[in-house]
Amino acid sequence: MARAVTNRRKLIVTVAAWAVGIAIFFPILWTVILSFKSEGDAIKTPLEVLSSAWTFESYATVQERSNYVRHFWNSVVISLGSTLLGLIIAIPAAWAMAFVPGKQTKNVLMWMLSTKMLPPVGVLVPIYLIFRDVGLLDTKTGLVIVLTLINLPIIVWMLYTYFKEIPGEILEAARMDGASLRNELIHVLTPMAVPGIASTVLLNIILAWNEAFWTLNLTAAKAAPLTAFIASYSSPEGLFYAKLSAASTMAIAPILIMGWFSQKQLVRGLTFGAVK
């Protein structure tokens, strides 16, 4: 009886998981399908879309109109640059919060996280004016800085959680052996938190890659990433669904591939320390 109940429960959970997974993935799947249709077919009913002819016309047009490689390279530089800069700042900050006694640590973490609740448009004008005056407008350096600051609270919070799972006695033993603060961070703490750091890196790359608000408002042409590449196919004349879908597919394909091959590492890092 117990086995029957267990099997039934597994079946229900499996079906529910697949249903949720399909519901989440369906918009991406439909975008990919529309990208292989003509503009005339892309606006038809779903059944007519599926039965219409498949074509690479939209991809060819996108390649002719836009420099995909330049936008792709800008996205790579911005996402990796903001992630690296964020780690350089967040690792020492998370170490201090996790291993240096302090009654206000939780309050500081909550304050940092609360900054994510601020609508970005609320600070757009001052940041835009600052970037314009210091020459960071429409530059990859400017976007690296702003995306680092935006995602820094999440990076610090995640690393703090992972660092708290590391026994403090290990760091004390390293100090007794004469390890300096630099050696403690680089040779002791960081290697032990590799799964957590890896998941933090992957999540931050995804967040920076998908960021649209700041990239659209602080860039024009030189530093425009793939989010601006997608937005260029939404014009006042109307939405070009097939071309927009083709551009979206080309923009999300690299991050989907990266996520697929790193899913084990991502899951391992996100569950790091979850089981005592």
Asked if residue 77 belongs to a domain, the reply is yes
Asked if residue 221 belongs to a domain, the reply is yes
Asked if residue 175 belongs to a domain, the reply is yes
Asked if residue 29 belongs to a domain, the reply is no
The enclosing domain of 206 has a CATH number of 1.10.3720.10
Please compute, for residue 125, the number of CA atoms within 13 A of its CA located in the half-sphere on the CB side.
Answer: 1
Number of domains present in the structure of the chain: 1
Say what the pLDDT of residue 209 is.
93
Say what the pLDDT of residue 167 is.
78
Range of the domain at 217: 66-232
**Three-state SS annotation for 216-240:** HHHCCCCCCCHHHHHHCCEECCEEC
Say what the pLDDT of residue 239 is.
67
The residues of the chain scoring below 70 in pLDDT are 1-5, 101-103, 235-239, 265-276
**Amino acid making up residue 143:** L
Please compute, for residue 155, the number of CA atoms within 13 A of its CA located in the half-sphere on the CB side.
Answer: 27
Asked if residue 54 belongs to a domain, the reply is no
| pTM metric for this prediction | 0.82
Residues 193-202: tens digit of each pLDDT? 787 888 889 8
Asked if residue 162 belongs to a domain, the reply is yes
The 10 Å Cβ neighbour count of residue 143 is 28
Interatomic CA distance for residues 38 and 54, integer angstroms = 8
Say what the pLDDT of residue 3 is.
55
* Residue pair 160/152 in contact by the 8 Å Cβ criterion: no
Interatomic CA distance for residues 135 and 143, integer angstroms = 12
Asked if residue 106 belongs to a domain, the reply is yes
CB neighbours of 83 closer than 8 A, spacing ≥ 6?
201, 204, 205, 208
* Residue pair 34/42 in contact by the 8 Å Cβ criterion: yes
Say what the pLDDT of residue 268 is.
63
* Residue pair 85/207 in contact by the 8 Å Cβ criterion: no
Asked if residue 52 belongs to a domain, the reply is no
